[in-house]
Structure 1
Amino acid sequence: MTTTTTSTPTRPSAAAELIADFVSTGGRLTDRADLARFLRDHRLVTEGAIPITLADLDEAITLRDGIRAFLDASDTPDPEVLGRAQKVLDGLRVTVRLEPTEQAESPLAPAVVDEVRRGLARIAGAWAAVLATGEWCRMRR
């Protein structure tokens, strides 16, 4: 009789690392420059000028707060926080990659032109990958 053991990966996926970094921004995501820096540091947008509106910043914070609330195992998430974050996700257009690249954190790719929304769509794709693999369970705080 052969016994197979299943091991839990010790290193989080690139998608999980992105989500963990995103939800832990806390006070470091307070203005448009912070959002631009986060998107650039995580290579979610191209280099160069990124026109970020206050509405873009609000969407990013809303999405971050919703994911954070979902991952917070110590509390029941506020349905309004989750609802607002879901509206942000609903407004992001993504498409499925026919042939994912090694650099891709998810088989989902942004289907929008605006740089900021492309960055948020990449975060949405990473979130989808974390949900699909069940890795979010190990990320609960």
Structure 2
Amino acid sequence: MTTPTQQSPAAALVQAFVSTGDGLADRADLAAFLRKHRLAAEGSIPITMADFEEAVSLRDALAAQLRRAGGAAYDDEAIARGQRILDGLRVTVRLEPPEDELELLAPAVVDEVRRGLARIAGAWAAVLATGEWRAITV
């Protein structure tokens, strides 16, 4: 008998994000995802089409990277687009251990959408550091 393992909060967030598929079809879906995963405050979230496209590109890049790691077909350009988005996110490293694992890298921006994406980036960094990303499925 094997012992079931539970995903860390970071891995669960990455899993949820890459699994959105057609469930992330418009800006309202993105707002709902950010609220559901406590990546944005309650209330209205101004989301531009550029914000939405960045979120979808980041999602597609993470999914492509996971597919590549699993030996499946993947899109190199999706990974490159996602890397450009990650390169543009502003995050800061916490000096003291955070109470919430998702705050290892804290957003250094005030825009709600970019803060949410920065938290997803932080979760990705956490699962890369622990190797847990290899167990995330697309």
Identity in percent: 64
Give the alignment partner of residue 80 of structure 1, picking from 52, 77, 82.
77
Instruction: Normalising by structure 1, report the TM-score.
Output: 0.89
Instruction: Please list, as runs of the form range in 1=range in 2, the aligned pairs for 1:110-129 lying within 5 A after superposition.
Output: 110-129=107-126
Map Cα deviations across residues 82-108 of structure 1 (whole Å, 9 max, x no partner).
Answer: 100101101100000112332232410
Q: Which residue of 2 aligns with 1:49?
A: 44
Aligned residue type for 1:138: A
Contact 2:15 2:137 in 1 (8 A): no
Q: Distance in 2 between matches of 1:102 and 1:9?
A: 25
Q: Distance in 2 between matches of 1:62 and 1:31?
A: 13
**Structure number having the greater helix percentage:** 2
Instruction: Normalising by structure 2, report the TM-score.
Output: 0.91
Q: Gapped runs of 5+ residues in structure 1?
A: 1-6
Say yes or no: does 1:70 pair with 2:65: yes
Q: Gapped runs of 5+ residues in structure 2?
A: none
Q: Which residue of 2 aligns with 1:131?
A: 128
Q: Which residue of 2 aligns with 1:100?
A: 97
Q: CA deviation at 1:74?
A: 3.9
In the alignment of these two chains, the number of paired residues is: 135
Map Cα deviations across residues 84-138 of structure 1 (whole Å, 9 max, x no partner).
Answer: 0101101100000112332232410000111100000000000000101100111
Q: CA deviation at 1:78?
A: 1.9
Q: Alpha carbons of 1:55 and 1:104: their partners in 2 closer, same or farther (altered >3 Å)? A: same
Map Cα deviations across residues 4-35 of structure 1 (whole Å, 9 max, x no partner).
Answer: xxx98711100000000000000110100000
Q: Distance in 2 between matches of 1:122 and 1:31?
A: 20
Q: Distance in 2 between matches of 1:101 and 1:15?
A: 13
Q: Secondary structure at the match of 2:28?
A: helix
Contact 2:27 2:47 in 1 (8 A): yes
Give the alignment partner of residue 106 of structure 2, picking from 106, 109, 116.
109
* RMSD between superposed Cα atoms in Å: 1.7
Q: Which residue of 2 aligns with 1:25?
A: 20
